[in-house]
Chain A
Amino acid sequence: MRRSPTNDCRIPSALFLLLGATVLLAGCAAGQPDSITEEGDSVRSLYKWVFGLAVLIFLAVEGAILFMAVKFRRRKNDDGSLPPQIHGDNRLEAVWTITPLAIVLVLFVLAYQNINDLQAEVPADEIQALVDQDKALRVDVTGLQWVWQFAYPDFAWQNSEGDMSPVKILGENTNTIPETAGSVPTLRVPLGIPVQFKLHALDVIHSFYIPQTLYKLDAVPGRVNHFEMTFTETGIYNGQCAELCGTSHADMRFRVEVMPADDFFAWAASEQAKGETSALADIAAEEAEEAAEAEAANDDGTGTSADDSSEENTESATEETSGTETETNPASPGEATSNATDTGSGVEQADQVLSERE
């Protein structure tokens, strides 16, 4: 009759104890990073609840398995008789159906509030007023293979075409911390006021992820996703693309510098002033050029080339990635006659796609 040479419960006992110790160690280490946003604090507190319940359930069930396995092992002096053939107990089944159900319903109530916290946003008609008073900020985030670009639509100036050029942070805007590969832009955001992010993708799906905010959202072609955060800690934090986007996905990093609000707005205003100055210079140069060309045209007697010579912003997404930031890229007259839709920044392109769909 079946008799294995050993019926040793040392293996299960030892492993179960080992597992318990490991889990306790892991439990102490298992934390998410400290959150740097108000929304992250909400996630953090949900995490504590879920983690606490998880540890309790883990210990209870693993404990029960361990207890059953060791306590009801076949003893050495076993007579070979059958143990009681218990087929089930409907009351017990009801108990351990209803108890987990109650637990997950409680968890769901917590999770429900947390989801609402994460999805809460300043209403669209109020945000403009807040932005005007420097009590909120809007950021356009654009993901493209394999770099992030950030633009502040509320800190913009008119370029020579009459379009608004926002203060932009492009991928080649390297910072002082050395990196292995890719260019790492630093997004500056103010402390303590709502920051509304709009996510755009130019090619494939990317995901905007700052681990310390305990939040990520995908940038999906054809959609503009948006979310709001209020940062609560100053400092410089890492961010990274979290959705596989091709070969250099891992190099698609960025940094977030959370600054006191006053510092931020002073910086943004100075960037805007710089942009205005250079735009004015561009416009002056252009007018001079136009005048010269008009003169030449008069000499030719054609008089139609004034429009052609206007500088179209023809930078494409790929040029931006390769690092040529040329807001006023002179184009050949033949190509430049056309549409403004092909030109402009990535954000404008994505918006264009959207409005076409609508």
Chain B
Amino acid sequence: MTTHTFTPDQSPGVGAVRVTRPYRAVFLDWITTTDHKKIGTMYAIAASVFFLIGGILAGIMRIQLAIPENDFVTRDVFNQSFTMHGTIMVFLFLMPMLAALGNWMVPLQVGAADMAYPKVNALAFWMIPLGGTVLLLSYLMPNGPHAGSWVSYPPLADVSESGTAFLPGHGVDLWIGAIAILGISSTLGSINFIVTVYKMRAPGMTMLRVPIFTWTVIVQSFLAIFSLPVVTAGLAMLWISRNLGGRFFDPSAGGDPILYQHIFWYFGHPEVYILVLPVMGVVSEIIPVFSRKPLFGYKAFIFATLSIAALGTMVWAHHMFTTGAIQVHFFAFTSFLISVPTGVKMFNWTATMYKGKIEFTSAMLFALGFLMMFLIGGITGVFNATGGLDFSLHDTYFVVSHFHYVLVSAALFGLFAGFYYWFPKMSGRMLNETVGKVQFVLLFLGVNFTFLPQMLVGLDGMPRRIPTYTEEEGWGLGNLISSYGYILIALAAILFLLNVLLSMRRGKISGDNPWDAYALEWATSSPPPYYNFDRLPLIRSERPVFDENHPEAVATGDR
């Protein structure tokens, strides 16, 4: 079989350039760059920094909750911690980290030289540290940061009838500013992705030959464009209410607090899919490559992704069942329906492995971990979707456990899988596989030790967002185990960071296509030159590089 064998002296750029340039030039190069790969790298660095901050906040909460009636932090600090943890993890870790992968891989996967709007791309990136700084500045304000949770329901996040704020200080205002900045950043990035894919695909790459990761990024981008401006508008209303007497959500002035919840969740639920869809794309790249087979049901998968996105905009009010202002039957029904396309994806991933020759690389292990954990997240979602059960489970730790199974499997398993898979392409060097496997075991144990007990105490009625609980309630053991689990997750994250830092300099040289992978990004060198491609293979399917390397392959089954 033809291969891309590799010897270091043929490599364009590995380890050769860095030494000769003065730091100032390197610095200027990075802050002025419009290269999608460098911007992608900066997204990843920024997201990692915020991940550490968000992780430390989670640690504060796990210490506080480890034993009943703990007084490690005050109630206000605890409330601020979960508010900032949620906000940072969603807006400053997951979204930028997905933007990092998208920036790196979407132009490469469609055979473009860069994003459609390189300067807009740079602008979108630099709004991330700006928004993060605005958010974190609130720690320097007199009353500290926002303490009203990431959903920021009025009246709590608003002012009272007499004009005094329920949450004093400017934490909420800075939070609103930060979310607006980050929302605009994501909207710009999304437009950029869509235009890039629509206008800059390589010759021969029809929409039904676009790699599945890029497909999920497009669908994600549409969801972001539909939902982010809505929440920005809602938060503008909240800001006007707080500072200029807008009273949009004040019943004594004809407003309605429920209105805000509709606006927020019209964004909030699609946001879940904004965070999860690209990770599904990552996993759909990895499982076929390490099973040595094509993705089972490529078209069905795209259709399922579109269905999830469409249905995802019709289910928002299932977050509001207990407000008493919702037609429960309807939203229970639409929420149930979402499990159908999600199930299709699950079956397609599983069927992809059928009759394969599966290689348990770290990337593949993390991808399998994603499937297994995401399944738990999906099934627990059905409990909430029933409506009736949600009246018992809503705002308990069951829900916390449910969405952490969804988002942690996306944020950690899926993204780790993606980085083990694409790091060679990004750096020209392999991540250490042994460390990867240790890390996988730690993470797998950690996630289940952390979130399974939370599910049980949640079923038993432990509400979320409480800084303490009494001993008689019997939630102590579950919380203690959960706090130990946090340590395992933290160790896994630190191991990954060390692995990246060490492998960047000392990792095994990877070659252009170390996994014998399929999509177009593997047709160029590792790392790619700034213009991306010297040549493009013939594109006659969604697997152009595979087609070129394996002319002997015979396709079977329905395409």
Binding site for B on A (CB under 8 A): 1-2, 4-5, 7-9, 11-12, 15-16, 18-19, 22, 26, 29-33, 40, 42-43, 46-47, 50-51, 54, 57-58, 61-62, 64-65, 68-69, 72-75, 78, 80, 82-90, 92-93, 96-97, 100-101, 104-105, 107-108, 110-112, 114-115, 117-119, 145, 179-180, 199, 203-205, 207, 209, 211-212, 214-218, 220-223, 225, 227, 238, 240-250, 353, 356-357
Could you say which of A7, A32, A93 contacts B392, with CB atoms under 8 Å apart? A32
Taking the nearest CB of chain B, how far is it from the CB of A26, in angstroms? 6
A43-B391, A203-B155, A221-B155 given; A86·B372 CB < 8 A: no
- The CA-CA distance from A244 to B157 in the complex, in Å, is 11
9 contacts between A and B (CB under 8 A): A4-B433, A75-B357, A85-B553, A87-B294, A89-B557, A96-B344, A114-B386, A240-B463, A244-B148
Known: A85-B294, A108-B336, A244-B153. 10 other contacts (CB 8 A): A75-B357, A82-B292, A92-B297, A92-B351, A217-B324, A220-B324, A240-B466, A244-B156, A244-B465, A249-B75
Say yes or no: is B540 at the interface (Cβ < 8 Å to chain A). Answer: no
- Complex CA gap A207/B332 in Å reads 21
Q: When chains A and B are docked, how far (Å) is the Cα of A94 from the Cα of B436?
A: 37
B243: chain A residues within 8 A (beta carbon): none
Most-contacted residue by chain A among B148, B380, B465 (CB, 10 A): B465
Q: Which residues of B contact A88 (CB under 8 A)?
A: 296-300, 348, 557-559
Known: A26-B456, A88-B557, A215-B391. A115 touches B329 (CB 8 A): yes
Partner of B251, one of A4, A12, A43, A222: A222
Residue of B nearest to A35 (CB): B392
Contacts of A214 in B (CB 8 A): 391-392
Query: In the complex, are the beta carbons of A68 and B156 less than 8 A apart?
Result: no
Cβ B372 vs Cβ A62 within 8 A: yes
Kindly provide the distance from the CB of B559 to the nearest chain A CB, expressed in whole angstroms: 5
Q: Which of B191-199, B220-228, B232-240, B440-448 contacts A (4 or more CB under 8 A)?
A: B440-448
The reply to whether B332 and A65 contact each other, CB–CB distance below 8 Å, is no
The 4 closest A-B pairs by CB, nearest first: A222-B251, A211-B461, A114-B388, A225-B324
Which one of A83, A88, A108 has the greatest number of beta carbons of chain B within 10 Å? A88
Report the count of interface residues on B (CB-CB < 8 A): 113
Asked whether A57 and B294 contact (CB < 8 A) given A87-B558, A96-B347, A225-B324, the answer is no
Residues of A within 8 A of B394 (CB): 216, 242
Q: CA separation between A43 and B384, bound complex, in Å?
A: 12
Chain B stretch 184-214: residues in CB contact (< 8 A) with chain A:
none
Question: Shortest distance in angstroms between A21's beta carbon and chain B's nearest beta carbon?
Answer: 11
Q: A238 near B333 (CB under 8 angstroms)?
A: no
| Contact indicator B356/A112 (Cβ below 8 Å) | no
Which residues of A have CB within 8 Å of B328?
Answer: 115, 119
Pick the residue among A46, A65, A250 that contacts B350 (CB under 8 A): A65
| Residues B516 and A2 in contact, CB atoms below 8 Å apart | yes
Q: Is B468 an interface residue (CB 8 A)?
A: yes
- Determine, out of B125-133, B359-367, B408-416, the stretch whose residues face the partner at the interface: B359-367
B467 within 8 A of A: yes
Q: Complex: how many Å from CA A357 to CA B79?
A: 33
Contacts of A199 in B (CB 8 A): 324
Chain B residues within an 8 Å CB radius of A92: 297, 347, 351
User: B466 touching A250 by the CB < 8 A rule?
Assistant: yes
Q: Which residues of B contact A (CB under 8 A)?
A: 1, 3, 69, 75-76, 79, 147-149, 153, 155-156, 160, 166-167, 251-252, 254-258, 291-294, 296-300, 322-325, 328-329, 332-333, 336-337, 339-340, 343-344, 346-351, 353-361, 365, 368, 371-372, 375-376, 379-380, 382-383, 385-389, 391-392, 394-396, 433, 437, 440-441, 444-445, 448, 452, 455-456, 459-461, 463, 465-470, 473, 514-516, 550, 552-559
In whole angstroms, how far apart are the Cα atoms of A145 and B164 in the complex?
A: 14
CA of A263 to CA of B452 in the docked complex: distance in angstroms? 42
User: Which residues of B lie under 8 Å from residue A179 when comparing CB positions?
Assistant: 470
* Closest-CB distance, A295 to chain B (whole angstroms): 40
Which A residues lie within 8 Å of B344 (CB)?
93, 96-97, 100
Known contacts A216-B392, A222-B257; A54/B382 CB under 8 A: yes
Question: Does B460 lie within 8 Å of A33, measured CB to CB?
Answer: yes
- A8 near B391 with CB under 8 A, answer no
CB of B350 within 8 A of CB of A100, answer no
CB–CB B557/A12 < 8 A: no
Identify B294's interface contact among A16, A74, A86, CB under 8 A: A86
Given contacts A104-B337, A205-B155, contact A43 B149 (CB under 8 A): no
A69-B347 in contact (CB<8A): no
CB distance from A224 to the nearest CB of B (A): 9
How far does the alpha carbon of A88 sit from the alpha carbon of B288 in the complex, in Å?
12
Residues of A within 8 A of B340 (CB): 97, 100-101, 104
Residues of chain B contacted by A180 (CB below 8 angstroms)? 69, 468, 470
Q: Is the CB of B257 within 8 A of A205?
A: yes
Q: Does B463 contact A87, Cβ atoms closer than 8 Å?
A: no
From A68, A101, A353, residue with most partner B Cβ within 10 Å = A68
Q: Which one of B160, B167, B258, B392 has the greatest number of beta carbons of chain A within 10 Å?
A: B392
A241 to B337: give the CA distance in the assembly, Å. Answer: 31
Query: How many Å lie between the Cα of A212 and that of B328 in the bound state?
Result: 22
Residues of B within 8 A of A220 (CB): 257-258, 323-325
Separation in Å of the A251 CB from the closest CB of chain B? Answer: 8
Q: A104 contacts B336, CB within 8 Å? A: yes
B257 near A111 with CB under 8 A, answer no
- Give every chain B residue within 8 A of A16 (Cβ-Cβ): 372
In the complex, chain A residues whose CB is within 8 Å of the CB of B368:
12, 65, 69
Chain B hits for A115, CB < 8 A: 328-329, 332, 387-388
In the complex, what distance in Å separates the CA atom of A189 from the CA atom of B77? 37
Q: Which of A40, A216, A246 contacts B167 (CB 8 A)?
A: A246
- Report chain B residues within 8 Å CB of A222: 251-252, 255-257
Instruction: Identify which of B69, B356, B467 gathers the most chain A CB atoms within 10 Å of its CB.
Output: B356
A357 and B360 form a contact (CB under 8 A) = no
Evaluate contact between A72 and B358: CB separation under 8 angstroms: yes
Q: Which residues of B contact A107 (CB under 8 A)?
A: 336, 382, 386
Are B300 and A93 touching (Cβ within 8 A)?
yes
In the complex the two chains form, what is the Cα distance from A65 to B375 in whole Å? Answer: 11
Q: Closest approach, in angstroms, between the C-beta of B393 and any C-beta of chain A?
A: 8
Complex alpha-carbon distance, A54 and B441, angstroms? 25
Shortest CB distance A18–B (Å): 8
A88-B298, A211-B460 known; A242 and B396 CB under 8 Å?
A: yes
In the complex, chain A residues whose CB is within 8 Å of the CB of B514 = 2
